[in-house]
Structure 1
Amino acid sequence: MMRPALLTRIRRFRPADDGLAATELALVLPMLLALLLGGIQLVAYVNASRKVDLVVRSISQMISQAPPPTDNSTVNGLVNQGDLHFSYDASLVLFPFLMSEGRRQGRQWWQVITINYASIQFKPTAATCADPTDQSACYSANVVWTSTGTTQPASGPLYRRCGAALIPADNNAAATPTTLPRSLYGPASVVVIDAVFTFTPTFGARYLPSFDIKRSAYIQPRYAPLIDYDTTGNDGIATKCP
């Protein structure tokens, strides 16, 4: 038979709820923190995606507006190494997060984003095209010049090589260094800007994977039939194809 003193203590314990709120908080707090930090990372990822898209669109606009030289030595628009460096450096203004990300990784800001420039010229391979909406069978896409840059060696993930015609791909296919959307093919040329930025979560980077954000922009020259590269004073940031 249970002693009266023990029964009294049990009766006192039953209505005691002083630590109930603290217990509930201890159980719920980890989930709340996970949702909060996860939401912050999601917003950061979406913002980084938009900024990389802004970078490729802005740089493509800069390069596509290059005019022909005033001495009429060529009808093509010309860019040089100074133009490429200037537009590359503009990515820091468009995407300031590069500075803090480089500092976090112990690297320079220009080492955490890869940007490749290329000028593509389409040459006819057939007199007529059976399908006026898809002229990829009647034109070849040839690289006129391509950039190497500091973080974009010839073995890099975005490098568009000289001497190999690019392959037409579906318009909604992921961009690769060896393909172009088939809707671009025709009697023209195009400037292509490819960029890739590896997004690494700030919180839980040891346990969460990194994501490559890849964006490409394709734009026709504004004031010339082709954007060519002036090799005068070239410091190796770009290579003109033979």
Structure 2
Amino acid sequence: MRRFGRDRSATSAIEFALVLPVALALLLGGMELGQELAAARKIVRVARAAADLTSQVAQISTSGVTTVLNAAALTIAPLPTAPLGIIVSEITADANGNTTVTWSKASNAVALTAGSTVSVPQGVVPAGTSAILGQAIYAYTPTFGSAFIPSQTLNSKIYMSPRLSATVDLQ
């Protein structure tokens, strides 16, 4: 019995076996957090691209909006585009500051209803003006540990003023 009490030859192996699961969980958790943060940044880029490209014209056709939505979706690479939804809309504020949707188009999402009231942060769309709203919605599924970490829905909204005219007319 005394011999086993003095034998230290497998101590390192036992410590390694005890620490390995914790170290792997920390490593994979850190990697997953980094991937989700990168995806969140890309979603902001998608919304910005949709609003920016739309705000650069005085009028746009339905096919032009489709081209804008397709171009905005490319900015999410290398993430898959299947769980990505993009909405681009024109929001108009009346003289009292009440904001309504003038027009809206979407890709893999539900467009806002024209004429419906939309909530906008104070001061974003001054009374009597319009703004382009770019929205991106992404259903992020974790690469590692999806059994333990639930899927997240990442959202981004960007407001931009039309550049060439007071509004962007949808043809």
Same fold (TM over 0.5): yes
Match of 1:207 in 2: 148
Aligned length: 170
Match of 1:116 in 2: 87
* 1:229 matched to 2:166: no
* 1:83 matched to 2:64: yes
Structure 1 unaligned runs (5+)?
Answer: 1-9, 67-76, 100-108, 125-137, 154-158, 167-178, 231-242
Give matches, 1:27-46, under 5 Å.
Answer: 27-46=18-37
Q: CA deviation at 1:60?
A: 1.0
**Divergent runs of 4+, >6 A:** none
Q: Give the partner amino acid of 2:117.
A: A
Q: Deviations over 1:29-86 (max 9, x none)?
A: 00000000000000001101111011111221110001xxxxxxxxxx1111232222
Q: Distance in 1 between matches of 2:105 and 2:154?
A: 20
Taking structure 1 as the reference length, the TM-score comes to 0.66
Taking structure 2 as the reference length, the TM-score comes to 0.92
Q: CA deviation at 1:14?
A: 2.1
Is contact 1:198-1:212 (8 Å) kept?
Answer: yes
Q: Distance in 1 between matches of 2:71 and 2:106?
A: 17
Q: Distance in 1 between matches of 2:42 and 2:50?
A: 12
Larger Rg: 1
Q: Distance in 1 between matches of 2:73 and 2:101?
A: 27
* 1:141 matched to 2:81: no
Give matches, 1:103-182, under 5 Å.
Answer: 109=81, 111-124=82-95, 138-149=96-107, 151-153=108-110, 159-166=111-118, 179-182=119-122
Q: Equivalent pairs: percent with the same residue? A: 27
Q: Give the partner amino acid of 1:94.
A: T
Alignment RMSD: 1.5
